[in-house]
Amino acid sequence: MIGPSSSHTAGAVKVGYLARSIFKDKLNKADIHLHGSFARTFKGHGTDRALVGGLLGFKPDDERIRNSLQIAKERNVEIDFNLSDLRGVHPNTAKLDLVGENKEMSIIGSSIGGSRIKIIQIDDYEVDFSGEMPTLWVLHKDEPGEIGIITSILGNYKLNIARMVVFRNKKGEVGSAIIELDHKVNDYVISNLENMDDIYQVRYVEPF
């Protein structure tokens, strides 16, 4: 990895990178809110450059991280930093408010040490995943049998579920499922899921 801090640099790159993968749209603007230790030491630890580097698609050992703020400018991505108190979260946490061509998304991620991270919120959905395993995030209709349909499709492709977190804000509306798998997921599995009537959105991230 590129120094100087595994939590504040490498972890921050991962948060940015995963946010980019989940957002998936072309990024025009990112409002980055830094909390706790991130807010206090971000310049010295290169957290600003790391988060932006991740958003630009750089991985933790990419030497372009050092110049990511400049590269963002060249790519016409507007970046704004704010210091925030996000309450009740890990001391190394950032909230990324992303604006693209057609949509906006807010993602909160924490860097929990030794370059391990956790994405804890996407828009209004509480989630919990590390990006250390192939991970699917599926938004689906909240109704009986829906989880069964998703897991059956995965089972048909011999994909074993290691961990699963389901969440919904309101009964009968949209459910969110985080599914961590033992194996990588092919595009046709994702298309298969996306083509189901009651599945609204599928996002997939792979470990690096």
Partner 1 sequence: MHYNRIENLIDKAVQDDIKISQIVIEEEIEERETTRTAVIEKMNENLNVMKESIKEGLKKDHTSASGLTGGEALTMQNSDNILGGNLYRDVVVKALAVSEINACMGKVVAGPTAGASGIVPAVLLSLAEKYDIEDEKIIKALFTAGGLGEIVSKKATLAGAEGGCQAECGVGSAMAAGAAVDLMGGTPEQVGDAFALALKNLLGLVCDPVAGLVEVPCVKRNGFAASHALTAVNMALSGIGSVIPPDEVIEAMMEVGDLMSVSLKETSEAGLATTETGRKIAEDLKDI
Q: Is 150 in the site for partner 1 (CB under 8 A)?
A: no
Q: The tokens 């209709």 sit on which residue? A: 141
**Which 6-65 positions form the footprint of partner 1 (CB under 8 A)?**
6-10, 36-38, 40-46, 61, 63, 65
Q: Is 135 in the site for partner 1 (CB under 8 A)?
A: no
Q: Is 184 in the site for partner 1 (CB under 8 A)?
A: no
Report how many residues bind partner 1 under the rule CB under 8 A: 34
Nearest to residue 121, comparing CAs of 133, 136, 132, 106? 106
Which residue lies nearer to partner 1 by CB, 16 or 46? 46
Q: The tokens 């933790």 sit on which residue? A: 60
Q: Is 176 in the site for partner 1 (CB under 8 A)?
A: no
**Which 58-117 positions form the footprint of partner 1 (CB under 8 A)?**
61, 63, 65-66, 90-92, 111-116
Q: Measure CA of the first residue to CA of the last residue in the chain; give whole Å.
A: 12
Name the residues that contact partner 1, by CB under 8 A: 1-10, 36-38, 40-46, 61, 63, 65-66, 90-92, 111-116, 182
